[in-house]
A and B are shown apart, each in its own frame.
Chain A
Amino acid sequence: MAETQVVASKSSSEDTRKVLLSIQNVRVWFELRRFGFGIAGYVRAVDGVAFDLHEGEAIAVVGESGCGKSSLMRTILGLHRPREGQVVFEDKVISEMGREGLKWYRMHVGYIQQDPYGALPPFMSVQRILEEPLITAGVHNKKEREERVRKVLTEVKMTPVEDFLHKFPHMLSGGQQQRTVIARAMIRNPRLIVADEPVSMLDASVRVEILKLLRSLQASHNLSFIYITHDLSTVKYFSERIFVMYAGQLVEKGPIGKILKNPLHPYTHALIAATSDPDARNAETYKEVPPGEPPSLVKPPAGCRFHPRCSRIIKGTCDVEEPPEFQPEPGHQVKCWLYK
């Protein structure tokens, strides 16, 4: 695993921007208990993930449900403690932070939830929802709070502001609810935003509107952005680099253009092949889908975790030894023996 770390830091040295968040070989394992006592095993939700995120950079983590992307996100937010490895934000290790430290950290990190209706308290008005993070941040001046609420609502284009301030979440449309969630994530002027499938619950026509809003906010505030999704077709409008996650590990990392045009890992290939563009010709052909399902994270397969489903398996290598990260071209890493 040591070489993973070296590769990650090497690739980042090409980027001249400052590193804001550094994920160093993080493992998050959850205990499985037997009758409440003793440990029957571990769910290896995140198993050796390393990357650097620069200031003002937008990245996307792509993977299917159960691949550990939400656990990774929750670790970055400081909700899970990694079993191994560190999450470093501005030279400070998150898992070593105390109460005050975490409070400071959370001032700088915004979180956009997947389901906007579920994420907003139904009994609070928009104004109250947006004031809450300011109150906990110690902004006691009511006037200042109101000003900031108005400013952030204008930024997410919920204008005229007066129309929305006193509304409750159920009175808003899906798009407006998601805008409120985004406003809440933005109100403390964070430097990093973590967005967990921010548009998957929205209708097609609204989806693009929200993506464009997120992109303009990211650019105008120079935010670092982690966009977690399973939908490859929305990724390219948004991020600079893609990390493809499979069974708790990042199997391919690289700039967006390279991954979409020239995917290296067989799993990335499969994901791209399975994504449809609206085209009547689709109805005439079958899609190539790797057989089987993602492995259990309790007992992941030996060797490469994708080998039982892979059509390009090298017998004797892929099913025995876990591939390290190879770098076939600068800035593009892949965890696959094919690129040794």
Chain B
Amino acid sequence: MVSSANHKLLRVENLVLHFRTTVGTVQAVDGIDFELDSNRAVVILGESGCGKTSLAKAILRLLPRNVEKYTGKVYLNGVDIMALNDEEFRQNIRWVGISLVPQAAMNSLNPVIRVGDQVAEPAIVHLGIKKAEAWNLAKQMFQHVGVPEDFLYRYPFELSGGMRQRVAIAMALVTSPSLIVLDEPTSALDLLTQANIFNVLKRIKKELGTSFILITHDIATSSELADEVAIMYAGQIVEVGHAKDFFPKPLHPYAEMLMASVPRLRQDQDPEFIVGQPPSLINLPTSCRFAPRCPKRFSKCDQDPPMIEKDGRKVKCWLYA
């Protein structure tokens, strides 16, 4: 087990993150397993409220105060980072090993500090280098993301939304982490800007060999970066597989319906919607979590299905047992 973990860049085993609220325990991340090789990108797809942002936070240990349960194993380059204490985690993992581009990152820049200083800061703090060196690094990163160098001296309000998003990506890159977590990187951007940002991410992946975890609900654009796809439903991953297998033929009924709900520009089939709503993450059923909405359910679905391997793909559904 340990030796195989050594080959993977990231390996998440049975990760659990539950929150305590006045109405009960929210099981936002409930036993997640997945792996990621280096220089690969995995897309985590799911509807809002399925726990995908909580998963990002659980991996980076960015936790709110009301955590009830936070267990599991996360191996980065073979090292169990869950075993590190908070200070070790801050020094060795955040930014240096894994960095995060948060949701609406373009609005997370400090309005009164020049963007150059903001991009250089993680390098100064985490790599312990001088300011001038860090600025040089920032300059290089600006080239990678396609922002003109003189923009380093500007303030965030002088940049358009797409430019600010690139700056946020440059900031995540400046410490040269092996993994970047992108939480909805383009959901607030225009169509052409969105296409541009994905071009930038593809180029970074090719030139710098970075890996990505892309968290999004936008299925169509997620295919721009995906090597692997993980579908999340009600706090769990219900299907994982290579993008090449997944996009033409998803296995899990939820994934199938989700794909059928995507309006397509170049095909004429009519999109279908999924009846019903995802369950509340507070009182989850013991059956398969998708069973109440599933058109293919049968008697076995009263029990929670295990992850089933089929032709190198994994799917959490009794249909494939």
A residues with CB within 8 A of B: 64-65, 173-174, 203-209, 211-212, 230-234, 236-237, 260, 270-280, 282-283, 286-287, 289-290, 293
Contacts and interface: CB of A to CB of B under 8 A. Distances in A.
A233 B263 contact: yes
Nearest to A277: B264
Nearest to A173: B277
Contacts of B227: 283
Contacts of A174: 48
B262 interface: yes
Given A204-B47, A204-B258, A234-B263, A278 B222 contact: yes
Given A283-B227, A287-B198, A204 B264 contact: no
Given A272-B265, A277-B220, A287-B196, 18 more contacts: A64-B190, A206-B273, A211-B263, A231-B263, A232-B265, A233-B263, A270-B192, A271-B192, A276-B220, A276-B221, A280-B223, A280-B247, A283-B202, A286-B202, A286-B203, A287-B195, A287-B198, A287-B199
B272 interface: yes
Interface string B188-231: 00111111101100110000000000000111111111110000
A279 B41 CA distance: 15
B272 A276 contact: no
Contact of A278 (B162, B223, B225): B223
Quick one: which of B160, B248, B277 has the most chain A CB within 10 A? B277
B261 interface: yes
B248 A233 contact: no
A208 B259 CA distance: 12
B244 interface: yes
A218 to B, nearest CB: 16
A64 B191 contact: yes
B306 interface: no
Quick one: which of A64, A65, A275, A278 has the most chain B CB within 10 A? A278
B261 A205 contact: yes
Interface string B130-173: 00000000000000000000000000000010100000000000
12 contacts: A203-B47, A205-B258, A208-B272, A231-B263, A233-B220, A233-B263, A236-B265, A260-B265, A273-B195, A274-B192, A275-B220, A280-B243
Interface string B249-280: 00000000111011111110011111001000
B224 A205 contact: no
Given A233-B263, A276-B224, A280-B226, A208 B192 contact: no
B95 interface: no
B75 interface: no
Interface string B229-245: 00000000000001110
Contact of B224 (A208, A270, A282, A293): A282
A230 B262 contact: no
A283 B223 contact: yes
Interface string B174-200: 000000000000000011111110110
Contacts of A203: 47-48, 217
Quick one: which of B192, B219, B222 has the most chain A CB within 10 A? B192
Quick one: which of B191, B218, B227, B243 has the most chain A CB within 10 A? B191
A282 B223 contact: yes
Interface residues of B, number: 49
A270 B191 CA distance: 10
B247 A208 contact: no
4 residue pairs, one from A and one from B, having the closest CB atoms:
A274-B195, A209-B273, A280-B243, A64-B190
B255 to A, nearest CB: 11
Contacts of B223: 276-280, 282-283
Nearest to A67: B190
Contacts of A233: 220, 262-265
A273 B224 CA distance: 13
B246 interface: yes
B64 to A, nearest CB: 21
Contact of A280 (B217, B244, B261, B273): B244
Nearest to A272: B265
A275 B277 contact: no
B209 to A, nearest CB: 15
A286 B267 CA distance: 21
A272 B226 CA distance: 21
A174 B271 CA distance: 19
Contact of B257 (A64, A205, A287): A205
Nearest to A267: B192
B219 A275 contact: no
B191 to A, nearest CB: 5
A234 B249 CA distance: 22
A204 B196 CA distance: 22
B42 to A, nearest CB: 12
A319 to B, nearest CB: 21
Contacts of B259: 278
A290 B246 CA distance: 31
A205 B273 contact: yes
B218 to A, nearest CB: 8
A286 B206 CA distance: 12
Contact of B261 (A208, A272, A283): A208
Contact of B246 (A64, A231, A280): A280
Contact of A237 (B196, B218, B225, B271): B271
A289 B195 contact: yes
